[in-house]
Amino acid sequence: MLEIRKAEEADFDDIWRIFHQVVAKGDTYTFDPETSREEALGIWTVKPWTPYVALDKARVVGTFKLGPNMPDLGDHVANAGFMVDPASRKKGVGRAMGEFALKEAARLGYKAMQFNFVVSTNKVAVKLWLDLGFEIMATMPEAFRHKEKGLVDIHIMHRMLG
């Protein structure tokens, strides 16, 4: 069974390991595949973001960050980013983190959650978010430069909480 908790500084090497493996593929995140460890941890762990980790038998197998989608008058809508260790895919880690993040966002007082940039070819993520009650609100044509597939669409996805 997975344990999901707020990340601690001792988890940063594992967060970096997962971030680097996921981003290097160039198929799901806009971050430069050459993003440095320092830049990655700044993206993932610096306020307004709160980083979390998923552990399987004390091994970090996934991470996500949770925070406001926009500042000030838009800060009642949450945003999050999720990454699963490639060796732990297809084991329910992403779903467990998604379900936890939705509950956590509601507990923190957010009214909704929005994903601004879900790559349409990331079929596993799109299906997961649809299964968890998100709707595709818009599709932006050719907004992502996929490392292998070239220009592909992205979705803006949204779900009310509570």
For the chain, the structural domain boundaries read: 3-160
- Cα–Cα distances (Å) from 160 to 24, 105, 112, in that order, read 32, 11, 4
Tokens of 96: 């467990």
> Whole-number mean pLDDT of the chain?
97
Taking the chain (162 residues) in consecutive chunks of 10 residues, what is each chunk's mean pLDDT?
95 98 96 96 96 97 98 98 96 97 98 98 97 98 97 98 90
60-90 tens-digit pLDDT: 999 999 999 999 999 999 999 999 999 999 9
Cα 65 to Cα 6: distance, rounded to the nearest angstrom:
9
What are the DSSP calls for 75-120, one per residue? Answer: TTEEEEEEEE-GGGTTSSHHHHHHHHHHHHHHHTT-SEEEEEEEET
CB-based contact 55:15 (threshold 8 Å): no
Prediction pTM value:
0.96
pLDDT for the residue numbered 138: 98
Which homologous superfamily does the CATH classification assign to the domain defined by 3-160?
Answer: Gcn5-related N-acetyltransferase (GNAT) (3.40.630.30)
CB-based contact 40:20 (threshold 8 Å): yes
17-26 tens-digit pLDDT: 999 999 999 9
